[in-house]
């Protein structure tokens, strides 16, 4: 009996060990498929590798869910491709640091597809001071109306999502795309740990709205790293990192349709870096500064690290620097008016601190200084981010220069 008990115990232990090992070594087979057309009913894409074909739209009242670790690939040879979340629709794309959700393009050429575009009905401003809910028409070629009064609009949850090689430009100012485009998206939407990589236009653009973004990385985008207009007013933004390399314009381009607002966004923890030799996208415009304010843009920004915004000598000589103000109204109403706050800035490797943007603005480089709400320091930390697969492309850690 004793020998039998020992044998049974040994067999049970062996079976248990095998079962445990089997569970540890089991790998999940990725699903495959094509995403196309308008999604008109709730849909979940299990972990897998998918092809995105055409301008795919998520209809109002419909939720598209994408599981962690999935890769969605567009192919520019099939025409215009992009993922559009219409007002009332939702995208639930929740990856992890080790298993991000990646949207990419087959050719790996910047500007090959439209990226992720989300619509809401949160407030915007337009070309007047009318306090009534205002609307505008999108510049993405879809010519959709955006804007409204729903400040808490919820377009879903995006966590650990990377968009690569987007920023398609068809016709300047009438059909342009970014890595992420948020049209009047509301504060009920969650945006965390997002990467816009090697696009041909802006990394992130906010067209009004109240949404906020945490842990955002804009890497190698050829226009602006972060851009907004229409009175965007997100209040809970933290840890933004821009790295401009090769070709790039502003680290942040800030405007408000010429409307002198009493509100603006708030961002805490910003790092803006420009690699040596990076030139402007267009040689006809002065676009190589860390931060540009124009058309009454404003906001509250703190704990900022700025590095590498130097003068450009070739192919066209331009002054580079930290802060550019493009027009006198913005200087008078926003800077002198105390509506632009830039505090705790750590500046290095920049040739100029203050630059005026146009010849009719008589203040020359380094000749003006915000009288209030401007402080520099040597202790600012900027963005604080943790490396992982979510911020690694082709074996390169995108946070390596942070």
The pLDDT tens digits for 345-393 are 999 999 999 887 655 455 444 456 677 899 999 999 999 999 999 999 9
| Residue 7: inside a domain | no
Mean pLDDT score, 63-85: 97
| Residue 370: inside a domain | yes
What's the whole-model pTM score? 0.91
| Residue 401: inside a domain | no
Task: Work out the pLDDT band at 206, boundaries 50, 70, 90.
Answer: very high
Residue 261: both structure tokens together: 């607002």
| Residue 5: inside a domain | no
CA gap 102, 315 in Å, rounded: 35
CA gap 154, 90 in Å, rounded: 7
The pLDDT tens digits for 255-310 are 999 999 989 999 999 999 999 999 888 766 667 899 999 999 999 999 999 999 99
Task: Work out the pLDDT band at 313, boundaries 50, 70, 90.
Answer: confident
Mean pLDDT score, 103-119: 97
Cα-trace Rg, the chain: 24
Mention every residue, 6+ apart, whose C-beta is less than 8 A from residue 150.
120, 121, 122, 186
CA gap 242, 27 in Å, rounded: 36
Task: Work out the pLDDT band at 20, boundaries 50, 70, 90.
Answer: very low
Mention every residue, 6+ apart, whose C-beta is less than 8 A from residue 304.
270, 271, 272, 342, 344, 345, 346, 380, 382
Per-residue confidence (pLDDT) for residue 25, from 0 to 100: 47
| Residue 41: inside a domain | yes
Return the residue matching tokens 């130097």. Answer: 310
Per-residue confidence (pLDDT) for residue 4, from 0 to 100: 32
* Total tally of structural domains belonging to the chain: 1
Per-residue confidence (pLDDT) for residue 14, from 0 to 100: 39
| Residue 26: inside a domain | no
Percent of the chain, pLDDT > 90?
Answer: 75
Per-residue confidence (pLDDT) for residue 285, from 0 to 100: 65
User: Of 242, 235, 83, 253, which Cα lies nearest the Cα of 158?
Assistant: 83
CA gap 87, 85 in Å, rounded: 7
Range of the domain at 311: 31-396
Residue 152: both structure tokens together: 């808490």
Q: How far is CA 388 from CA 100, 101, 245, 358, 393, in A?
A: 9, 13, 21, 42, 10
Question: Distance of alpha carbon 376 from its chain centroid, rounded?
Answer: 26
Q: Provide the β-strand partners of residue 145.
A: 137
Per-residue confidence (pLDDT) for residue 130, from 0 to 100: 64
| Residue 105: inside a domain | yes
Alpha helices for 26-88 (secondary structure H): none
Secondary structure tally for the chain: helices H, strands E? 2, 30
| Residue 176: inside a domain | yes
User: Of 193, 102, 88, 93, which Cα lies nearest the Cα of 148?
Assistant: 88
Q: Provide the β-strand partners of residue 291.
A: 252, 323
């Amino acid at each position: 009996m004793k020998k039998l008990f020992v044998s049974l115990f040994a067999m049970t232990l062996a079976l248990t060990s095998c079962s445990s090992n089997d569970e540890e070594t089991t790998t999940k087979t990725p699903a495959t498929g094509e995403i196309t057309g308008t999604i008109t009913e709730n849909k979940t894409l299990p972990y897998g590798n998918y092809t995105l074909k055409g301008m795919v739209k998520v209809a109002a009242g419909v939720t598209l869910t994408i599981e962690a670790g999935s890769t969605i690939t567009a192919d520019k040879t099939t025409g215009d491709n992009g993922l559009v979340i219409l007002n009332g629709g939702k995208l639930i794309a929740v990856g992890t640091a080790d298993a991000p959700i990646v949207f990419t393009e087959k050719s790996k050429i910047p500007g090959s597809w439209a990226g992720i575009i989300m619509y809401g009905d949160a407030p915007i401003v337009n070309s007047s001071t009318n306090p009534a809910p205002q609307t505008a028409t999108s510049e993405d070629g879809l010519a959709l109306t955006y804007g409204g009064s729903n400040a808490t609009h919820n377009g879903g949850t995006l966590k650990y999502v990377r968009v690569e090689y987007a920023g398609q430009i068809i016709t300047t100012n009438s059909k342009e795309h970014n890595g992420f485009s948020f049209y009047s998206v509301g504060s009920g939407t969650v945006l965390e740990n997002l990467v816009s990589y090697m696009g041909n236009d802006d990394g992130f653009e906010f067209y009004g709205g109240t949404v906020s973004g945490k842990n955002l990385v804009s890497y190698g985008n050829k226009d602006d790293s972060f851009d907004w207009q229409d009175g965007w007013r997100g209040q809970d933004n933290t840890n933004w990192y821009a790295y401009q390399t090769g070709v790039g314009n502003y680290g942040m381009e800030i405007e408000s349709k010429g409307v002198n607002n009493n509100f603006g966004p708030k961002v805490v923890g910003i790092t803006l870096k420009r690699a040596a030799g990076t030139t402007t996208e267009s040689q006809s415009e002065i676009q190589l500064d860390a931060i540009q304010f124009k058309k009454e843009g404003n906001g509250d920004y703190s704990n900022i690290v700025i590095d590498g915004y130097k003068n450009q000598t070739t192919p066209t000589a331009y002054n580079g620097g930290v802060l550019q103000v493009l027009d006198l109204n913005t200087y008078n109403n926003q800077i002198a008016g105390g509506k632009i706050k830039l505090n705790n800035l750590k500046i290095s490797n920049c040739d100029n601190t203050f630059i005026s943007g146009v010849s009719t603005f008589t203040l020359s480089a380094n000749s003006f200084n915000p009288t209030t709400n401007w402080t520099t320091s040597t202790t600012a930390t900027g963005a604080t981010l943790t490396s992982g697969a979510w911020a690694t492309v082709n074996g390169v850690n995108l946070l390596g220069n942070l």
